[in-house]
Amino acid sequence: MKQRYLISFLCFVLLVSCSTTKKTSNYQDELTTYREQYKNGFLQDPRSPLTKEDLPFLSFYEADLNLKLNCNCTKATDAKPFEMPTYSGVTRTYILHYIATCPYQGQMLTLELYKNIHQPINPLYKNNLFLPFKDETSSDSTYGGGRYINLMVTDIVNDKIIIDFNKAYNPWCAFSDGFNCPIPPKANHLPFAIKAGEKMFTGTYKEKKS
């Protein structure tokens, strides 16, 4: 009888292991496709700070499903527009739109999601949410100015949203001067390392001619 239970238990463990391996493999494929699209975006935008020759110097952490977080999302109340400073010295007007709370490593992570108050020229971006953040990898293995994650209001379903740090990317200020990159507010300065997403650019930093 004990042997039968042992065999059943081992079969269950093997089934769970195979399912987890397949899930991880599928996600890695999805993330690889996402990152290729991200790289190609530099070649399609005439304002881009990078050329095809620069792309090999982009690097990323390995996929980590533990940093794809299921978060509760609450609409901010009584929020007022404010000026978010950028590294160039100008400001951009944003408003706190949602507050996300996510369980991570036994603690509750709180993140502020912002919305630019100016109506975008392209209507495809009217539902954009902006998540800038810093963490303990900043200035170490990732860009010192912090990283960004793009989200959409339509990503919120039943007051929940998935925040995937594997899709964190560098602002263009990480590659070149001449850009107005928002500085992540202190509310999104995380007291631990987020070892996911884009790492520090290893190519040559570009200075635009005046």
pLDDT tens digits, residue range 7-57? 554 444 444 444 456 567 899 999 999 999 999 999 999 999 999 999 999
pLDDT computed for residue 12 by the predictor? 47
Quickly state the pLDDT bin for 118 (edges 50, 70, 90): confident
Position with higher pLDDT, 210 vs 109: 109
Q: Which DSSP category does 61 fall into?
A: P
Query: Looking at residues 176-192, what average pLDDT do you find?
Result: 96
Question: pLDDT digits over 133-180, tens only?
Answer: 999 999 999 999 999 999 999 999 999 999 999 999 999 999 999 999
CA distance 173 to 146: 10
Query: Looking at residues 58-72, what average pLDDT do you find?
Result: 97
pLDDT computed for residue 1 by the predictor? 57
Query: Looking at residues 67-93, what average pLDDT do you find?
Result: 96
Question: Is the pLDDT at 106 greater than 70, yes or no?
Answer: yes
Kindly provide the b/e burial profile for residues 13-25, where b requires at least 16 CB atoms within 10 angstroms of the residue's own CB.
eeeeeeeeeeeee
Q: Is the dihedral of CA 99, 100, 103, 105 positive or negative?
A: negative
Query: Looking at residues 61-81, what average pLDDT do you find?
Result: 97
pLDDT computed for residue 7 by the predictor? 56
